[in-house]
Amino acid sequence: MKTYGALLIETQTAIEKILEGAQEYEIGGRRLRRADLQWLYERERFLLKKLEDHGDVSPINTTPRFKANVSFV
């Protein structure tokens, strides 16, 4: 599963593409449309909040992914 940080990058990339004019395009006779811009902004806010609250962790496993150097004497 992707981390919140990875999902945020994907979301922001989609927003950028839409803002650059690639909301809808056609490939091989098939018309493709990206997600709604408003939905992407809401998803971006959600992911930013998750990162603020939990750090860059998997959306399923909220255990932070870091190593703590621990020594026992």
Q: What is the mean pLDDT of the chain?
A: 80
Region label for 55, one of left (φ > 0), alpha (ψ between -120 and 50) or beta (otherwise):
left
Q: What is the dihedral of CA 59, 62, 66, 68, to 10 degrees?
A: 180
Rounded average pLDDT over 33-52: 90
> Among 2-6, 27-31, 37-41, 60-64, whose mean pLDDT is lowest?
60-64
User: Does the pLDDT at position 43 exceed 60?
Assistant: yes
